[in-house]
Amino acid sequence: MLRYLTAGESHGKALLVIVEGCPANLSLSDAEINKELERRQQGYGRGPRMKLEQDKVELFSGVRQGKTIGSPIALQIPNCSTEFFEKAFTQLRPGHADLAGILKYNQKDARNILERSSARETAAKVAAGAIAKRLLSEFKISLFSKVVQISGAENEKDWPTLIDQAAEAGDTLGGVFEVTITGVPAGLGSHVQWDRRLDANLARALMAIPAVKSVEIGLGLAVANLPGSKVHDEIFYSKDKGFYHKTNNAGGIEGGMSNGEPIVLRGAVKPIATLKKPLQSVDLVSKKPTQAFVERSDVCAVEPAAVIGESVAALEIANALLEKFGGDVLEDIQTAYQGYLARI
């Protein structure tokens, strides 16, 4: 089982990651992880913090002489920007975790909620996902992502203008990203229990990305408006290909299992909740009307959300791969994998 745990605050000393279950003898370098972290920092509409943070991972355990050794992999991503950590605020921000978190944890300073609920934590997710991607590459499984639309506009040429207009108005924009996973063999996941269904686990992973409000697989919501004859993918067979589909409306997953076609996921990202022109709210202490607290933030973060989507999807696919083929050593997993491919 591949699992990960993150710790750290947005403006604290560092973000921490522990990845457990990665097999031994996988080649892994900090440069590969740093490349993914750099991708997460890109995108039109990012805020000023991306110019301050130079996300570079530090490997503390689980890797020796460039290869994993089977023990938990511990990573650290230092934060360069820590100046806000001690600054309290009580002007609750609509759309953020402030109100719910304060009520749940009985806090008097909304900073205690902001620091952990911040999307800054996704840098840790991307670092963990980079390890999963490296593992999947050994099995020729690849992940790609793209932005599908920004604020309803599908033409990429329109996006900078829309983002600039939102920035001038003190507003923010959301959109939709798509992740495609190729090379996944049929049979990852299972139909026998709810928590082993691959589609459910992928949907959960994408929904756990801050600001993602809905997830689609394949045709997604469109299936509710189409007859079955226009939804289900017909099955074919040839000696060269084996079993295959000419269409992929299912998005590569049927009955909770991969079916051999590319897995296609989409996530809808709401607009960033911190607005330069703040919304109306209530002060936590005085209970009086106030404007929401404002701290530096992005105008649009759909592009980095796509990179994060790749990362969390990679972790779920890698976990499903290890669940099926087992093994503590990369070579043993590869042997089992090749035997399975030969059978199907």
Asked if 201 and 320 touch (Cβ cutoff 8 Å), the reply is yes
292 is in an annotated binding site: no
Q: Residue 59 belongs to what H/E stretch?
A: strand 58-61
* 49 assigned to a ligand binding site: no
Tell me if 214 is assigned to a ligand binding site: no
Q: Tell me if 273 is assigned to a ligand binding site.
A: yes
Q: Is 318 annotated as a binding residue?
A: no
Helix (H, G, I), strand (E, B) or coil at 13: coil
255 is in an annotated binding site: yes
Dist. CA 283–CA 290, nearest whole Å: 6
Other Cβ atoms within 10 Å of 118 Cβ, number? 18
Instruction: Please answer whether residues 266 and 7 qualify as being in contact, where contact means their C-beta atoms are separated by less than 8 angstroms.
Output: no
Residue 39 annotated as binding site: no
Q: Is 209 assigned to a binding site?
A: no
The SS3 call for residue 111 is helix
Contacts of residue 189, Cβ cutoff 8 Å, sequence gap at least 6: 196, 197, 198, 199, 201, 253, 256, 257, 258, 320
Chain-centre distance for alpha carbon 319: 15
Q: Residue 254 corresponds to which tokens in the numbers above?
A: 């049927």
- Residue 62 labelled as part of a binding site: no
Check whether 64 is labelled as a binding-site residue: no
Q: Residues comprising the binding site?
A: 40, 46, 116-118, 255, 270-274, 296
Q: Residues comprising the binding site for FMN?
A: 116-118, 255, 270-274, 296
Q: Residues comprising the binding site for NADP(+)?
A: 40, 46
